[in-house]
Amino acid sequence: MAKEINTIGVLTSGGDAPGMNAAIRAVVREAIAKGKKVKGIKRGYAGLLQEEIIDMETKDVSDIIQRGGTILQTARCMEFTTPEGQQKGAEICRKHGIDGVIVIGGDGSFKGAQKLAGLGINTIGLPGTIDLDIACTEYTIGFDTAVNTAMEAIDKVRDTSTSHERCSIIEVMGRGAGYIALWCGIANGAEDILLPEKYDYDEQKLVNHIIENRKKGKQHHIIVNAEGIGHSASMAKRIEAATGVETRATILGHMQRGGNPTCKDRVYASTMGALAVDLLCAGKSNRVVGYRHGDFVDFDIDEALAMTKEIPEYQYEISKNLSL
């Protein structure tokens, strides 16, 4: 028989992402609407192990849907990667009467949720990361806001790049994944898009491309470089020396993680937050919520973690033609 859920815990873990607050709000309000109690666990698994656990009522999540960051705060916690840490976490959940936990984070955070589920605490994961690097889902909370923030910043760099007839290398986040770089590269009309999944480290090709474009009369040359490749500053020096074209590097950094979530992030995060509660209420555990082919769906965490996803080949190929 499915375990009855009376009290739901919610935590955010790993890097924060715009829309996490919308998800927290949805969890709290959907749970209360279903007659459940909610406890907020602060600072991810670190806060769980320190028993930083607070009661949450509907009013505690008012005025947050539009805010970036996470009101519960977030952390990375080594102790929770150990069996002892996980056992302690499950015992603390039981001590506080928490029957089910909703974990908002990335693959690392889902591994923690998987371990808690194995120790008898029902868990549901929500994909929260700006990187879009979760294989089971086409959408992650925060990606849409992050790419819009980066896109606006790159537009601004492009203005000055054109005025000075420079080459600009703009580095975007994404950890080992190139999704933010690909989207910005297309949205900003970048002349070159460097993705960790695709880059062959042949700088001579970039040099030739810049020289060709100069001959065609292009006044700027935008290279969107993914964090997974990095080294934008030294790349800029080498490219300037090889082309004779003034080259500057801009690393956008953590600005991409902040700011008010877009409409899409608010709506999708809200839907996923409510769905996570409904899954727990239906007795489900060890599941992760995703978005695929136009539907909000859920997968077994073990299966979700075993999935892989690639950079969309067609979009990557056409991006080269679009900046001719």
Of positions 70, 129, 232, 323, contacts ligand F6P by CB under 6 A: 129
Residue 258 binds ligand ADP (CB under 6 A): no
Determine, following the binding rule CB under 6 A, whether residue 7 of this chain makes contact with ligand ADP. Answer: no
| Chosen residue from 28, 31, 130, 154 binding ligand F6P by CB under 6 A | 130
Footprint on residues 120-149 left by ligand ADP (CB under 6 A):
129
Q: How far apart are CA 234 and CA 240, in angstroms?
A: 10
Report CA dihedral (119, 121, 126, 127) to the nearest 10 degrees: -10
Per-residue burial over 258-275, b = 16 or more CB atoms within 10 Å of its CB, e = otherwise: bbebbeebbebbbbbbbb
Whole-angstrom Cα distance, residue 36 to residue 8?
Answer: 7
> Interface with ligand F6P by CB under 6 A: which range of 38-46, 172-180, 185-193, 298-306?
172-180
Q: Pick the closer one to ligand ADP by CB: 111 or 214.
A: 111
CB 122, CB 290: distance < 8 Å: no
> What residues numbered 52-91 form the site for ligand ADP, per CB under 6 A?
76-77, 80-81
On whether the CB atoms of residues 182 and 147 are closer than 8 A, the answer is no
Nearest Cα to Cα of residue 248 among 306, 164, 175: 164
Please pick, from the candidates 34, 88, 96, 111, the single residue that binds ligand ADP as defined by CB under 6 A: 111
111 binds, among ligand F6P, ligand ADP, none (CB under 5 to 8 A by kind): ligand ADP
The residue (of 40 and 125) whose beta carbon lies closer to ligand ADP is 125
* # binding residues, ligand ADP (CB under 6 A): 17
Which region, judged by CB under 6 A, interacts with ligand F6P, from 127-135, 158-166, 202-210, 298-306?
127-135
DSSP 26-69: HHHHHHHHTT-EEEEETTHHHHHHTT-EEEE-GGGGTT-TT--S
Closest CA to 88 of 43, 54, 48: 48
The reply to whether 107 belongs to the active site is: no
Binding-site ranges for ligand ADP (CB under 6 A)? 13-15, 45, 76-77, 80-81, 105-109, 111-112, 115, 129
